[in-house]
């Protein structure tokens, strides 16, 4: 008797599991259509995010480039002013300053080329480029400032 009840309970349970676990083909199609629509929306959102990120990156680069070009032009102006100031110096002193100025002027030109030749290579490399470029620009500005201060004294 126990075996019969146990067998009957197991059969009813198995039948219930099978009936509730099966989906009709129309339900499967609806679920697949919903999944497809959701995937299309996700792709659309991802494309928009990518477009926004690219635009932000371009805007940031253009701003950085403009600011850097202004610094380079300011350095060129300072170099020209310094050359005018040392024109009346003694020959030996003038030669020393001109030699130092030539080095600074070359670095300034190299920085200008480096900025113009930069190609997009990803966010990480952009951050590295920007950090190194700013560091080099600061060093160049300090070298020019130190040279000017020595001439004034």
What is the mean predicted confidence (pLDDT) over 100-115?
91
CA distance 63 to 68: 9
Contact 108, 72 (CB under 8 A): yes
CA distance 106 to 23: 75
**Whether residue 48 has pLDDT greater than 70:** yes
More confident call, 117 vs 40: 117
pLDDT tens, residue by residue, 76-105: 998 888 888 888 878 888 888 889 889 999
Residue 102, CB half-sphere, CA atoms under 13 Å: how many? 6
Q: Distance from CA of residue 91 to its chain's centroid?
A: 48
Q: What is the mean pLDDT of the chain?
A: 83
**Whether residue 153 has pLDDT greater than 70:** no
Q: What is the pLDDT of residue 135?
A: 95
Least confident of 3-7, 71-75, 81-85, 118-122: 3-7
């Amino acid at each position: 008797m126990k075996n019969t009840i146990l067998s009957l309970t197991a059969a009813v349970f198995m039948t219930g599991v099978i009936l509730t676990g099966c989906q009709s083909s129309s339900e499967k199609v609806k679920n697949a259509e919903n999944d497809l629509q959701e995937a299309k929306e996700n792709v659309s959102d991802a494309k928009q995010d990518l477009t926004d990120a690219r635009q932000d990156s371009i805007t940031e680069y253009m701003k950085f480039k403009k600011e850097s070009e202004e610094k380079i032009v300011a350095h060129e102006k300072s170099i020209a002013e310094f050359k005018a100031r040392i024109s009346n110096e003694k020959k030996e002193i003038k030669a020393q300053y001109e030699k130092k100025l030539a080095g600074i002027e070359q670095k300034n030109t190299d920085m200008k080329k480096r900025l113009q030749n930069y190609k997009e290579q990803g966010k990480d490399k952009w951050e590295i480029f920007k950090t190194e470029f700013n560091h080099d620009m600061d060093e160049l500005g300090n070298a020019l400032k130190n040279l000017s201060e020595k001439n004034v004294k």
